[in-house]
Amino acid sequence: MKKKILISTGGSGGHVIPALNFYEHLKQDNEVYLTSDIRGLRFIDTKIYKTKKIEVPDIKKDIFKFPINLFLFLISVIKSFLYLRQNKIDKIISTGGYMTFPICIASIFTKSELFLFEPNMVLGRSNSFFLKQCKKIFCYSNNIIKFPSKYIAKKKIIYPLLNKKSYFSKGNLKTNLDQKILLIIGGSQGAKFFQTELRNTLNKLSKKFNLFIYHQTNKENFQELEAFYRGNKIAFKLFDFERYLDSIFVKTDFCITRAGASTLAELVFFEIPLLAIPFPYSKDNHQLFNAKYYQENNCCWLIEQKEIQKRNLFEIISNILVDKKNLELKKKAMNELSLNNTWENNNKIIIQTLYGN
């Protein structure tokens, strides 16, 4: 009989995308469910994935609404308990964030086995809270900051989670000879900075190189960005969230990006030279430590947002694009880091961890 597994997620794409990848790994031999808040549902095709919406208030966000938010939070715990019991969930994978709290708490009462997932280089606060309760925590590195040594045996290292299509798309890598393809990934948070601060740099680069720019940003920024690109005669394509970026990755020569764990993992897997500008307001500054991990492995360049005003971004990127030797070294380092990241290898680790054999 198939086991029933619930993947609890929500919030940003950084939480939801790995959840969907876990789903794909498990769906063949298990009955798999998803729970998410309203924000996370933006990234989920509910026609494909069995999804239950459980709205969770952020009880720390507004101190004046604390009593009502606490009451609503308790309601979400009750809803989670009823959902787990009704569906007889055997195992739970939590991708972190406060929106997974009710499910994790409810699992104590239903005695469902809890597994955590931490893709960042800093242990998340939600994961820290449930470390004692969980059976194992999936991580990308042994060197997670703020990880308690007494729980080190619970850590299970997996390769960065990618969608299954990516493993087949990588072989289609091709070189652009007469045009530089740039990819800008603003992320779901802090995309406004990428819309405003990079303009002068992009305009100068377009005068030196034959550019085509793919620019990921929030839809609210589209009109202003379209005016900028058209006004400066720069070839471009804007997009909001895309589940599969493989068709863009295989064309891209260089990427300017935030430093979410999923984004960096995909870029490194596709061997795309990148400049990381971490979102400075990420919890515990985890994006900075994500980028530093890849920088230390010679896989990327790193500039903190606060340094942008002091440095000539045009010269930095321009020098990167013409330094073919250094670009190849970055690609080689990325290839070596991702060498064993296959769908089969990750699938084996995940299954063995969940079922202990």
What are the DSSP calls for 227-262, one per residue? HHHHHTT-EEEEES--S--HHHHTT-SEEEE---HH
Whether the domain at 3-159+342-355 and the domain at 166-338 fall into the same CATH topology: yes
Mean pLDDT score, 7-35:
94
Q: How confident is the model at residue 173, as a pLDDT?
A: 59
In the chain, domain spans: 3-159+342-355, 166-338
| Predicted pLDDT at 183 | 96
What pLDDT score was predicted for residue 120?
97
Q: CATH classification of 3-159+342-355 is 3.40.50.2000, yes or no? A: yes
Pair of tokens at residue 126: 């939600």
237-259: pLDDT as tens digits: 999 877 778 889 999 999 999 99
pLDDT tens per residue, range 89-112 = 999 999 999 999 999 999 999 999
C-alpha–C-alpha distance, residues 26 and 31, integer Å: 8
Q: Write out pLDDT tens, residues 40-80.
A: 999 999 999 999 999 998 877 778 788 898 999 999 999 99
Query: What is the rounded radius of gyration, in angstroms, for the C-alpha atoms of the chain?
Result: 21
Q: What is the pLDDT of residues 326-340, one digit of tens each?
A: 999 999 999 999 999
Return the pLDDT at 309: 78
Strand partners, 214: 183, 237
Query: What's the pLDDT score for residue 244?
Result: 76
- What local confidence, expressed as pLDDT, does residue 1 receive? 65
CATH superfamily of 166-338: Glycogen Phosphorylase B; (3.40.50.2000)
Q: Is the pLDDT of residue 221 over 90?
A: no
List the 155-157 sheet strands across, edge first: 51-53, 30-36, 3-8, 91-94, 113-118, 136-139, 155-157
Residues 289-298 pLDDT 10s? 999 999 999 9
Give the per-residue pLDDT at 188.
Answer: 60
Q: pLDDT tens digits for 164-208?
A: 989 888 766 565 567 899 999 986 655 667 777 788 999 999 999
Q: Which of 53-67, 209-223, 256-270, 271-285 has the lowest mean pLDDT?
A: 53-67
Tokens of 149: 């040594």
Mean of pLDDT values over 114-124: 97
Tell me which of 7 and 283 has the higher pLDDT: 7
- The yes-or-no verdict on residue 274 having pLDDT over 90 is yes
Which pLDDT belongs to residue 194? 76
Share of the chain above pLDDT 70, in %: 96
Taking alpha carbons only, the member of 262, 279, 264, 349 closest to residue 20 is: 262
pTM: 0.93
Strands (E), the chain: 3-8, 30-36, 51-53, 91-94, 113-118, 136-139, 155-157, 180-185, 211-216, 235-239, 254-257, 274-276, 301-302
Three-state DSSP class for residue 54: coil
Does position 353 have pLDDT exceeding 80, yes or no? yes
d(CA 100, CA 55): 10
Arithmetic mean of pLDDT over the chain: 92
- Band of residue 235 on the pLDDT scale cut at 50, 70, 90: very high
Across 18-36, average pLDDT: 96
